[in-house]
């Protein structure tokens, strides 16, 4: 806006830096910056002032292009246009988002995403969409004025919303974000953190808490189902949670080294070796999906999975692709058991259909519905994870129930083979019955 007033005042005969600054009530430096910009646009000349009373100073004058620019500014009149602008209904304010970043309600439901609540349920009014808020989104503070459609100086160089005449309701769209769920051991309090574009958003955290927090999203933390029973000798060897987490933290913290430095004593490498040497250890809740991925990519002889529910949000294109690659390995036998007493209506039909198609296409893959209750075992080669973590339903369902399910990883070949043979017999029996 300073640029425009410099041109207008220069046309009116105010032709010095100090004169313009005095007329506008701003400091000289702001006027100098505006004059410099207009010099680069060839709107102004800034030459020595030959008048006796101003000898030694400089005089601002309009060039021919500058005269045209002032004329355009005088003849430019406000235009009424329709402008598509996102509105954040959780923060209840306009937001800078492209439509390509947003999902329709149907798309969000298909991906089984939680829908965060709105701060208000009514329609947005013009009182809540101020011109200042829109201008702030249209012209970021660090980018300066927006050029007109021609891109040429001298035409409509500044884009500014003067008033919001009306707000037209559109179909709701949704921005995918990540919601982190925190629950302290031994406490019922559940806290949520909203992550947008890989950054924690404090305003959204506060707005979500004011809208009801975890209860508004039907998120709850329930007690663990407990660890499945293990033989006493395995329980005696089991490394506890604290020991395992300490090793994992050390393993995930490599030393900070300069390029070309030779590592002679790497604590993270030692921690990984100590972790791999544990034959019976605790499996923290977060590690279960990682172990399933490791099983799919690493199994060479046998793969066995027991899960209660099948959800389309977990049985994705990626999981099916991983299973297909695994099933092409020579001599590998795979089994998946599901159900464990749950009726057919509890499973997502699409997830069941995709797994059944895979079983029909591969002779080395058995998919069986098992009615009896079994631990949710994962066995691949000589590794066995005994747990109550539900492998193929941990993202699904309209309610998000979080349990701190810990498992046990066993690498004793004899114990793993015994457990595999026991589970395989149950699955094969269910297939033939």
Backbone Cα Rg of the chain: 33
- Structure token pair of residue 77: 């009149």
> From residue 282, how far is each of 246, 274, 307 by CA, in Å?
12, 14, 19
- Structure token pair of residue 101: 């970043």
Largest interatomic CA distance in the chain: 112
- Structure token pair of residue 431: 């297939």
Closest CA to 109 of 396, 405, 407: 396
Contact 406, 227 (CB under 8 A): yes
3-state secondary structure of 426: helix
- Model confidence band, residue 237 (pLDDT cutoffs 50, 70, 90): very high
CA atoms of 421 and 39, how far apart (whole Å) = 85
pLDDT at 395: 55
* Count, residues in the chain: 433
Q: How far is CA 71 from the centre of its chain?
A: 49
CA atoms of 409 and 283, how far apart (whole Å) = 6
Between 432 and 263, residue with greater pLDDT:
432
Each residue's pLDDT tens digit, 166-216: 888 888 999 999 988 887 666 567 788 999 998 999 999 999 999 888 888
Each residue's pLDDT tens digit, 295-312: 999 999 999 999 988 988
CA atoms of 160 and 145, how far apart (whole Å) = 9
pLDDT at 163: 79
The residue-averaged pLDDT of 230-237 equals 90
pLDDT above 90: residue 77? no
The residue-averaged pLDDT of 327-331 equals 93
pLDDT at 74: 65
- Structure token pair of residue 314: 């977990």
CA atoms of 145 and 133, how far apart (whole Å) = 15
pLDDT at 146: 42
Output the average pLDDT for the chain: 83
Between 128 and 386, residue with greater pLDDT:
386
Each residue's pLDDT tens digit, 125-139: 888 888 888 888 876
pLDDT at 157: 46
Between 160 and 25, residue with greater pLDDT:
25
> From residue 357, how far is each of 141, 176, 351, 354 by CA, in Å?
56, 31, 10, 5
Please give the angle made by the CA atoms of 243, 245 and 249, to the nearest 5 degrees: 120
CA atoms of 248 and 244, how far apart (whole Å) = 6
Cβ neighbours of residue 162 closer than 8 Å, sequence gap 6 or more: 78, 131
Helix then strand count (H, E) for the chain reads: 15, 18
DSSP letter at 101 equals: G
The residue-averaged pLDDT of 106-129 equals 86
pLDDT above 60: residue 268? yes
pLDDT above 80: residue 330? yes
Contact 377, 390 (CB under 8 A): no
């Amino acid at each position: 806006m300073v640029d425009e007033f410099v041109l207008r005042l220069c046309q009116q005969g105010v032709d010095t830096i100090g004169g313009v600054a005095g007329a506008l009530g701003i400091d000289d430096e702001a006027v100098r910056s505006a004059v410099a910009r207009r010099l680069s646009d060839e709107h102004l000349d800034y030459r020595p002032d030959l008048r006796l009373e101003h000898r030694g100073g400089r005089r601002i004058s309009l060039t021919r292009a500058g005269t045209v620019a002032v004329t355009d500014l005088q003849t430019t009149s406000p235009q009424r246009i329709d402008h598509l602008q996102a509105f954040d209904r959780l923060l209840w304010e306009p937001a800078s988002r492209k439509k390509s970043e947003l999902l329709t309600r149907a798309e969000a439901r298909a991906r089984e995403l939680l829908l965060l609540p709105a701060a208000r349920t009514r329609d947005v009014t013009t009182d809540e969409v101020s011109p200042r808020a829109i201008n702030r989104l249209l012209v970021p503070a660090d980018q300066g004025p927006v050029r007109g459609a021609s891109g040429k100086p001298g035409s409509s160089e500044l884009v500014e919303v003067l008033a919001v005449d009306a707000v037209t309701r559109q179909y709701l769209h949704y921005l995918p974000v990540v919601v982190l769920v925190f629950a302290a051991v031994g406490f019922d309090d559940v806290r949520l953190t909203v992550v947008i574009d890989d950054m924690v958003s404090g305003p959204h955290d506060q707005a979500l808490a004011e809208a009801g927090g975890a209860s508004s999203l039907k998120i709850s933390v329930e007690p663990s189902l407990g660890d499945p029973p293990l033989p006493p000798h395995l329980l005696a060897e089991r490394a506890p949670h604290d020991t395992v987490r300490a090793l994992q933290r050390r393993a995930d913290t490599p030393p900070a080294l300069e390029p070309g430095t030779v590592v002679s004593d790497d604590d993270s490498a030692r921690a990984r070796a100590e972790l791999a040497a544990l034959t019976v250890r605790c499996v923290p809740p977060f590690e279960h999906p990682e172990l399933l991925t490791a099983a799919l990519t690493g199994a060479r002889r046998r793969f066995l999975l027991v899960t209660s529910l099948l959800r389309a949000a977990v049985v994705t294109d990626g999981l099916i692709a991983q299973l297909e690659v695994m099933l092409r390995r020579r001599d590998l036998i795979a089994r998946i058991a599901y159900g464990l007493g749950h009726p057919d209506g509890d499973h997502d039909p699409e997830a069941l259909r995709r797994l059944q198609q895979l079983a029909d296409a591969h002779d080395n893959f058995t998919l069986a519905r098992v009615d009896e209750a079994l631990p949710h075992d994962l066995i691949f080669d000589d590794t066995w994870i005994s747990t109550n973590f539900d492998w193929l339903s941990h993202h699904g369902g309209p309610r998000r129930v979080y349990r701190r399910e810990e498992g046990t990883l066993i690498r004793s070949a004899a114990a793993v083979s015994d457990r595999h043979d026991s589970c395989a017999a149950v699955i094969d029996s269910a297939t033939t019955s």
